[in-house]
Amino acid sequence: MPCMKPNISRRNLLSGGTMLAASSLLSNSALSFAAPASSSSPIRLGIASYTFRKFDQAHLIQFMKELKTPLLNLKDVHLPMTPADQVASRAAEYRAAGMDLTAAGTIYFDKDDDNDIRSKFEYVKAAGIPVIVGAPTRQVLPRVEKFVKEYNIKLAIHNHGPEDKQWPSPFDVLDAVKSMDPRIGCCIDVGHTMRTGTDPVTAIKKVGARLHDVHMKDLAESKVKESQVAVGDGIMPVRGIFQALIGIGYKGNVDLEYEIMADDPMPGVIKSFAYMRGVIAGMNV
């Protein structure tokens, strides 16, 4: 399905019964629950734009304004790998709309080639983004480290669960990078982590200072990828995850990556934010 055209009228933006229902929910009873956490909260809730992969830039920005978060991990569907001047101008459009571009990716590094790797670091540099959520192969990783040092851009390696032959769990990442530059670390995807039989809370504590990004989701069944649900409707230990992040002094973001209902994600996204913000409020942090 192609990205929707950027006609940002309320009618077009929230077309369809479920979207209209979600908008009503957000603007009325859910708004009090979905209000942003205190600016002093150590848990920074953002969005992985892959959540809205079926929608264009204008709709992505509008959805984030509805959700009252500026923190954005951009996927290339929303920031194409075009020439540097075009990347910079596109990134500036997001910032002009109030967005804080916190990470880019997931970006794949599967060629052991300086030119290929440099082109991707130049893309992120042009966008002014400080963190790459990446998936390098083990073979390419030492070469990527050179560019992390040269560009001073962090690399958060994203684990993708049992199907991922490179990085199933954060422990696989940690074992590979433990002697590398400290700017190379983990993007812990808590759902994929749980599916490997690894406790996300334990993983956060063990990764510690090498945790550079978090992708949040929830599962109804711990080993079943297709069982993803809105955060709070499954078995993910959300409060424990937040407590662990506070415990390690984590300064990065917790980006909701809602991978289901791609054609109509807002109801689940709204519910997820409401739940997470409720947990944070209940923690009195």
pLDDT digits (tens, 9 = 90+) for 111-158: 999 999 999 999 999 999 999 999 999 999 999 999 999 999 999 999
Query: pLDDT tens digits, residue range 161-216?
Result: 999 999 999 999 999 999 999 999 999 999 999 999 999 999 999 999 999 999 99
* 219 touches 229 (CB < 8 A): yes
Rounded to whole angstroms, the Cα distance separating 265 from 59 reads 12
Name which of 201, 199, 204, 202 is nearest 186 in CA terms.
Answer: 204
**Cα–Cα distance measured from residue 29 to residue 23, given in angstroms and rounded to the nearest whole number:** 11
Q: Smallest Cα–Cα separation from 216: which of 73, 27, 34? A: 73
Flag the least confident range among 32-41, 106-115, 229-238: 32-41
Tell me the CATH number of domain 41-283, given options 3.20.20.150, 3.30.1490.100, 3.90.660.10, 2.60.40.1180.
Answer: 3.20.20.150
Rounded Cα–Cα distance for residues 203 and 47 (Å):
21
| Nearest to 245, CA basis, from 217, 211, 284 | 211
Among the ranges given (3-17, 235-249, 268-282), the one the predictor scored with the smallest mean pLDDT: 3-17
Domain boundaries, the chain: 41-283
pTM assigned to the model:
0.87
**Contact between residue 207 and residue 170 where contact means Cβ atoms under 8 Å apart:** yes
- Displacement of CA 78 from its chain's centroid (Å): 13
